[in-house]
Structures are given as structure tokens and as C-alpha cells.
């Protein structure tokens, strides 16, 4: 058999509007749709292309037109159709893609992957009778193995880290899939992505995170294993991106937590200086940022996202953000003061209205924000939600017993396989949304909000800045 061809699909998001007031990570402004290159799909496509495997990408995030998928299937007649579900925002749309795949090319193998659907494991098959294979972890090696097994007529069930439908039976291979060293993935071939120039350019610095925060889904994809690109590989990739996009865009540097290793990070500052571009990234407040932050600023860093999550020692311990809240919050305060002396650098602080919040813990976080108001440009304040398969879901009974938390049923989010919750006996889910929404407005400047949000959207949209600002400060 010839080498099977692959079509990778990035589904649209939120074709149904959420049924409640939005805030934080659940926020989606009127007149705008979040749209960015799906980095996982592009990495898989680049890897497969480097192995000589025919691959194409169908991106529906902008057109939201499923007929584009139908037409692409008809044109290229793929042997394998893979659909990505990165969040609850695209889950029901992902399931529709599989229905279309069956209608248009029933003989093609249908594969799902991505951070959201991967967490669901075998239970995702209950939502989609069309689904045949699910990748639970990272996708490069898994997709290569699937192609090889199909080509050689081998059973898929022995591929590590996948779930396979075999007639009426579902087989879940418990082995963790192999990870590909990032330098063994060729420099990203952005040209494989449809209309790539309308999106924010990005380069991946590292993948994975050694932290084990209770709410996070990253641990399910890479099991705490963090890998880095060498400085040489990173420089090749960012220079290729500059050749394609030019230097007028802000470049997003992807990392679960940038700057975990001070010495290589200092080497990267030289790369950014040579590249002469503006860029944004995220890092932990308790990393060794004081070693390199001045150099990063001089090398073009213009927006930094810091996941503080809470200023309450009790909540920080509960969510497993840190074992030493006193040190963690002291470093966060110092970071805010440090950045306040950098006029061209915008700081976003991420906060979660977490399970187990009490009036006291909320006061502690608000007090921190008030104390540091003039060093913070924007705050992303998210009501907590519980992702199936996360450690938070596994530990939720503890919050029920100690704090009076409870899961909240919502037909809309149930369909998308996301669990909302009443954080404690003190606060309803609706109150957590209201407080989060209000505090975002209070502690974000319009310019700071735009700087921290703009790269999540198509860069060719008219009045992007005004729509983003109006969307955040609207009273609706």
C-alpha cells in the first residue's frame, strides 16, 4: 500500500453562544472570534511532512463553514482524517467534523486528539459513534505510528497512548505515548497552514511543565516531562517566521512556562536581539526571572503573562501552585514592581476564582491587586471550571466536604464536557462569574487589556482594538 494521506482539521469554536455571563478564560467578546494557528496541528503536519507523509490542514476557525471541510475531503480524498479538540470551546464542533467525515469519506480512518478530548479518553466515544481512534497525549509520534500501521495493515491497538474502537468494543492502551524531541521536529512549515499570515506568528520555545497544579490539563499530555528546543533550532525557526511575516507583528513565544532555565534563557535573549522583533510569552512568578528579565526587555519583550492564580496562601496550597506561598507571593510582588519600571512592557496577571474560596481568601487576592494596581496592566480573572480527567475533578469531593462546593449542571457546558461549579458555600457559580467579570474591569486598563489579548485574534480584522476594548468594558 502507498503511504496513507492525512487531513488534519482545526474546528471552529463556540458556534453556539454560551448561556451565561462570561469572564476570564470563558470570555468571548461580541463581534470577534478568537482565531489563531493551531500549534499542535501545525507541529504534527510539519513532522509528518518531514517524514514524507502526504498531509494537509483544513482550518475552519475563521470561515466557520463546514462546506470547506466537505470540499477539501472531496478534493484530496484522505486516508486518515484527524480532528483537534483543544478546549470545550470546540468540542461539539469537533464531533460535527466526524459526522461530515463519515458522510463524505466513510473509508477514511477518523482520529481525534488535543488537550480537551484527550483528557476524556474512552468516554469521548460515547459522544461520537463516528470516532474510531483517540490520541490521549501528544500527537506527532502517534500519528506517524498510525500511518505506518495502516500502511502495513497492522492492528492499531498496540500503539501507546491511544484508544481504539473495534466493533462494539473500546480498547484503551494504557502505555504513555513516546515524545518526539523538539529538535527532531523540522522547523515549523507555516506554509502548510491555510492563510497563515492572517494570524499572529508564533514560535515554540519549550513544551510541557514540571509543575503539577491541580486544575491544569498540561500534565495529561506530557506527564510532567518538559522539553526544550536548542537555541540554534529556535533561531532557525524564528528567522523563518520573520521571513514570512516580516517584523511588524508581535511574535508569540509558546511555552508552558518560559525561562525555567536561566542560562539558556540568557542565550535566547541574544537570539531576540538579533531578530529585532517585539514578542510576548508567559512564565511563573517564582522562576528566576530576576536573572534575565532586564535583558528580555531590552531584546523586545512587550507583553508578559504571569499565572499568579491567587494571592491567598490557603488557595495556593489547595491548588498545588506552590509549597511556599510566602516566598511565592513575595516574588510576585517584586516582579510587579520590577516590571512597573519598564514602560514598554505590559504585565497581565492571571487569577482563578478557585474552588474553596471564602470571603477571606477573596479579600487577600483583592488586597494584592489593590496594593499593586499601578504595576499591573491587565487581569484575566476566571471562574473555576472542572475539566474531566483533571486532578481537580479527582479531588473535588474534598472541596465538597470542607467548603460546601458542588458541581453545577449546565446543558450547554455538559454537551461540551466541561463542569462548572459553585466554589463554596459562600459563593454561587453566578457570583463567581460576576466577581471575576467586575474585577477584570477594575484592575485592567484598556491599553493593557488590548495588549494582552490582541494576539489571540486574526490580525486583519477591522477595528480589532476598539472591539476588544468595548467587548471587555461592556455592561452586558
Looking up residue 51, the CATH number of its domain turns out to be 3.40.50.280
Instruction: Indicate if 138 and 224 belong to the same structural domain.
Output: no
| Domain identity same for 125 and 221 | no
Range of the domain at 63: 6-172
Q: In this structure, what CATH number is given to the domain that contains residue 287?
A: 3.30.750.200
**Nine cell digits for residue 70:** 466537505
Extract the residue ranges of the chain whose pLDDT is less than 50. Answer: none
Whether residue 184 is contained in a domain is answered as: no
Which of 153, 172, 191 marks a domain boundary?
172
Residue with cell 487576592: 365
Same domain, 309 and 414: yes
Q: What is the pLDDT of residues 395-411, one digit of tens each?
A: 999 999 999 999 998 88
Per-residue pLDDT, 222: 65
357 three-class SS: coil
Do residues 265 and 383 both lie within one domain? yes
CB atoms within 10 A of CB 341: 10
- What total number of domains does the chain contain? 2
Could you give the percent of the chain with pLDDT greater than 70? 93
> Are residue 223 and residue 83 in the same domain, yes or no?
no
153, 216: one domain: no
Co-location of 111 and 211 in the same domain: no
Q: What is the pLDDT of residue 403?
A: 98
Assess if residue 54 is contained within a domain. Answer: yes
Cα 476 to Cα 160: distance, rounded to the nearest angstrom: 47
CA atoms of 476 and 474, how far apart (whole Å): 6
Q: What does the buried/exposed string (b/e) look like for 76-111 if buried means 16 or more CB atoms within 10 Å of the residue's CB?
A: bebbbbbbbbbbbbbbbbbbbbbebbbebbeebbbb
pLDDT given at position 31? 61
Tell whether the torsion through CA atoms of 147, 152, 154 and 158 is positive or negative. negative
pTM of the model: 0.94
Give the strand pairing for 346-353 and 378-383: parallel
**Residue 24: its pLDDT value, please?**
54
Q: Of 120, 154, 172, which marks where a domain is finished?
A: 172
What is the C-alpha separation between 42 and 140, in angstroms, rounded?
A: 10
Three-state secondary-structure class, residue 259: coil
The answer to whether residue 188 sits within a structural domain is no
Same domain as 230, residue 127: no
Predicted confidence (pLDDT) per residue in 284-334, tens digit: 999 999 999 999 999 999 999 999 999 999 999 999 999 999 999 999 999
**Are 348 and 235 in a shared domain?**
yes
Amino acid at each position: 500500500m502507498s503511504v496513507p494521506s492525512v487531513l488534519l482539521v482545526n474546528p471552529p469554536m463556540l458556534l453556539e453562544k454560551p448561556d451565561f455571563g462570561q469572564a476570564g478564560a470563558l470570555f468571548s467578546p461580541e463581534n470577534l472570534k478568537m482565531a489563531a494557528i493551531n500549534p499542535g496541528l501545525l507541529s504534527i503536519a510539519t513532522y509528518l511532512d518531514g517524514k514524507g507523509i502526504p498531509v494537509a490542514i483544513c482550518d475552519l476557525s475563521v470561515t466557520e463553514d463546514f462546506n470547506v471541510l466537505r470540499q477539501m475531503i472531496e478534493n484530496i480524498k484522505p486516508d486518515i482524517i484527524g480532528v483537534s479538540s483543544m478546549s470545550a470551546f470546540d468540542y461539539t464542533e469537533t464531533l460535527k467534523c466526524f459526522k461530515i467525515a463519515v458522510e463524505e469519506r466513510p473509508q477514511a480512518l477518523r482520529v481525534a486528539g488535543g488537550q480537551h478530548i484527550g483528557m476524556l479518553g474512552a468516554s469521548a466515544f460515547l459522544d461520537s459513534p463516528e470516532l474510531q481512534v483517540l490520541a490521549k497525549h501528544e500527537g506527532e509520534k502517534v500519528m506517524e505510528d498510525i500511518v505506518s500501521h495502516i500502511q502495513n495493515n497492522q492492528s492499531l491497538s498496540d500503539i501507546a497512548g491511544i484508544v481504539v474502537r473495534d466493533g462494539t468494543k473500546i480498547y484503551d492502551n494504557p502505555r504513555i505515548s513516546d515524545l518526539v524531541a523538539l529538535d527532531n521536529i523540522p522547523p515549523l512549515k507555516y506554509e502548510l497552514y491555510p492563510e497563515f499570515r492572517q494570524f499572529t506568528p508564533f514560535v515554540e520555545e519549550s513544551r510541557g511543565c514540571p509543575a503539577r497544579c491541580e486544575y491544569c490539563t498540561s500534565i495529561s499530555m506530557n506527564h510532567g516531562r518538559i522539553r526544550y528546543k536548542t537555541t540554534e533550532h529556535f533561531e532557525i525557526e524564528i528567522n523563518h517566521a520573520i521571513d514570512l511575516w516580516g517584523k511588524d507583528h508581535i511574535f508569540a513565544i509558546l511555552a508552558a512556562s518560559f525561562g525555567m532555565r536561566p542560562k539558556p534563557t540568557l542565550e535566547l535573549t541574544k537570539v531576540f536581539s538579533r531578530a529585532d522583533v517585539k514578542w510576548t510569552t508567559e512564565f511563573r512568578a517564582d522562576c528566576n526571572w530576576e536573572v534575565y528579565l532586564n535583558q528580555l526587555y531590552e531584546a523586545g519583550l512587550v507583553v508578559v503573562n504571569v499565572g499568579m492564580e491567587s494571592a491567598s496562601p490557603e488557595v495556593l496550597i489547595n491548588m498545588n501552585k506552590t509549597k511556599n506561598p510566602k516566598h511565592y507571593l513575595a516574588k510576585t510582588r517584586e516582579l510587579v514592581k520590577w516590571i512597573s519600571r519598564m514602560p514598554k512592557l505590559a504585565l497581565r496577571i492571571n487569577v482563578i476564582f478557585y474552588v474553596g474560596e471564602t470571603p477571606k481568601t477573596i479579600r487577600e487576592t483583592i488586597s494584592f491587586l489593590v496594593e499593586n494596581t499601578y504595576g499591573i496592566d491587565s487581569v484575566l480573572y476566571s471562574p473555576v471550571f472542572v475539566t474531566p480527567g483533571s486532578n481537580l475533578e479527582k479531588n473535588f469531593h474534598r472541596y465538597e466536604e470542607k467548603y460546601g462546593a458542588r458541581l453545577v449542571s449546565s446543558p450547554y457546558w455538559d454537551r461540551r464536557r466541561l463542569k462548572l461549579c459553585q466554589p463554596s458555600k459562600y459563593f454561587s457559580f453566578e457570583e463567581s462569574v460576576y466577581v471575576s467579570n467586575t474585577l477584570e474591569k477594575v484592575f485592567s486598563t484598556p491599553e493593557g487589556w488590548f495588549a494582552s489579548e490582541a494576539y489571540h485574534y486574526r490580525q486583519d480584522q477591522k477595528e480589532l482594538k476598539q472591539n476588544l476594548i468595548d467587548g471587555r468594558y461592556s455592561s452586558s
